[in-house]
Homo-oligomer: A and B are copies of this chain.
Amino acid sequence: MNRSPDLNRRRTIRDVATAAGVSISTASNALNDTGRINAETRERVRRIAKEIGFRPNAAARSLLGGRSHTVGIITNDTYGRLVLPMTAGVSEVLLEAGVSVFLCPTNNDPRLAHLHLEALLDKQVDGLIFTATRLDLEPPPALADLPIPIVHAFSEGPPERVSFVPDDAQGAELAVRHLLACGHRRIVHVTGEENYVVAHRRAQAYRALVSPEARVMFGEWTEEWGREAVEILFAGDGEKPGALFCGSDEIARGVIDALRDRRIRVPDDVAVIGFDNWEVVARQTRPPLSSIDMELKTIGRRAGEAVLALCRGETVPPGINRIACRLVPRDSCGRADHD
C-alpha cells in the first residue's frame, strides 16, 4: 500500500536538482552549459543527471523556446522508392541537430494531405519538406503562406522558395557522354510521357549533345513501352540505332528484354543505359544495366540542411537547386575508351 509513488515517473530537472543539492536553475545551467557555474558543480550535476536517467522534457522545452525541433515531410509517394532514400538523407542531417521527422504519406489524396498539414501545424513543426513524385500531380495544398519555412525536395516549388531536384539535364549528358565514350553512335532516346517536365529536360540535353534532330521517342514509363519501342526501332530494315538512352530503368529493362528476344546482343550490338539506378531492376537485367543515379539521399540531405537553416532564422538563397546525378556503369554499355 505504502509503496513509494512515482517510482517510474519520468525524472525531471527538479529530481536532478534535489539529488545534487542545488537549485533548479543551477541544474539547468549545469546541463546546458549556460550562465556562470563552478566546474565541479557542473560535473556533479551532470553525473547525477546521467545516473538517474534524466531526459529533458521536449514539450516544456518547446513550449518555452517556441520551437518544437520537428519537421514534417509531406509526400504522395506510394511505394516509397523515392521518398524513403530522401527521408533517410533528411533525418540523417536533422538527427544531429536533435530534430525528428514526421512522415506524412498523402497517398495522392488532397483531403488526406490537408488533414496531415493541419496535424503538423498543430504539432507546431518548425519546418516542412514537400515532396511529390510527379510534378504534375497534387498542387501544394493550401500551402501558400504558412508561418513556417517550406522546402521542396524532388519537386520544384515556387521561385521564392528553396527547392532541390535532380539535375536532369546533367544526368542526361552523363548518360549520352558515357555512351559516346564507349564508342557508341546513332543514339536514340526512349523516354516516358511527353507531358512530364523531366522528360523534356532530359530530351533537350540529349539533343543538345547529339544533334538537334536526334530521335526522341516519348511513351509511358513502363517496361511495356520499352519493349514496344524496340519493336518499332528494329522492325523495318532501315538503319538501326547503336545505343539506347532510356528515360527510366523500367523502360530500359523492357528494352533489354526485347533486344534479347530479338537475339540482339547488349552491349555488343546495341548499348543501353537507364535512368534512376533503381537497384532491384538495374542489377537484375541481363546484362546488368548501367544507369544514372539521382542521388536521392543527397537531395534529402540538402533539403534537410536547408530547412534546418531556415528554422534557425538563417537565410537560404531561394530558387531551384539542381543536384548532380551520378553515372553508375555496369555492363550494358561496354567499356569506356577513356576515363
Is A101 interfacial (CB-CB < 8 Å)? yes
- A116→B95 contact, CB < 8 A: yes
Please pick, from B80, B88, B284, the residue contacting A224 in the complex, using a CB distance under 8 A: B284
Q: Chain A: how many interface residues by the 8 Å CB criterion?
A: 60
Contact with B along A99-141 (1 / 0, CB 8 A): 0111111010000100110011111100000000000000000
Is A168 interfacial (CB-CB < 8 Å)? no
**A123 and B62 alpha carbons, distance in the complex (Å):** 10
Closest residue on chain B to residue A254 by CB atoms: B284
**A116 and B87 alpha carbons, distance in the complex (Å):** 13
**A213 and B121 alpha carbons, distance in the complex (Å):** 59
Closest residue on chain B to residue A65 by CB atoms: B59
User: Using a CB-CB cutoff of 8 Å, which residues 265-299 of chain A contact chain B?
Assistant: 279-280, 284, 286
User: Using a CB-CB cutoff of 8 Å, which residues 195-253 of chain A contact chain B?
Assistant: 222-224, 250, 253
Residues in B whose Cβ lies below 8 Å from that of A124: 10, 57-59
- B104→A91 contact, CB < 8 A: yes
Minimum-distance CB pairs A-B, first 4: A80-B80, A80-B84, A103-B103, A59-B63
- B85→A80 contact, CB < 8 A: yes
Is A83 interfacial (CB-CB < 8 Å)? yes
- A55→B91 contact, CB < 8 A: no
Please pick, from B60, B84, B121, the residue contacting A83 in the complex, using a CB distance under 8 A: B84
Is A21 interfacial (CB-CB < 8 Å)? no
- B85→A83 contact, CB < 8 A: no
Provided the pairs A10-B147, A284-B250 are in contact, do residues A105 and B119 lie with their beta carbons within 8 angstroms?
no
- B84→A123 contact, CB < 8 A: no
Provided the pairs A79-B81, A147-B10, A250-B284 are in contact, do residues A56 and B103 lie with their beta carbons within 8 angstroms?
no
Closest residue on chain B to residue A73 by CB atoms: B103
Is A68 interfacial (CB-CB < 8 Å)? yes
Residues in B whose Cβ lies below 8 Å from that of A305: none
Please pick, from B83, B98, B107, B119, the residue contacting A119 in the complex, using a CB distance under 8 A: B98
Residues in B whose Cβ lies below 8 Å from that of A120: 100
- A80→B83 contact, CB < 8 A: yes
Is A38 interfacial (CB-CB < 8 Å)? no
Residues in B whose Cβ lies below 8 Å from that of A107: 88
Contact with B along A63-94 (1 / 0, CB 8 A): 10000111011000111111111011001100
Is A8 interfacial (CB-CB < 8 Å)? yes
**A260 and B262 alpha carbons, distance in the complex (Å):** 13
- B84→A98 contact, CB < 8 A: no
Q: 6 pairs across A/B with beta carbons < 8 Å?
A: A70-B123, A79-B279, A79-B280, A80-B85, A91-B116, A260-B261
- A119→B103 contact, CB < 8 A: no
How far does the Cβ of A262 sit from chain B's closest Cβ, in whole Å?
A: 13
Is A167 interfacial (CB-CB < 8 Å)? no
Residues in B whose Cβ lies below 8 Å from that of A156: none
Is A173 interfacial (CB-CB < 8 Å)? no
**A121 and B83 alpha carbons, distance in the complex (Å):** 24
**A115 and B91 alpha carbons, distance in the complex (Å):** 11
Closest residue on chain B to residue A124 by CB atoms: B58
Closest residue on chain B to residue A99 by CB atoms: B119
Please pick, from B62, B91, B222, B224, the residue contacting A59 in the complex, using a CB distance under 8 A: B62
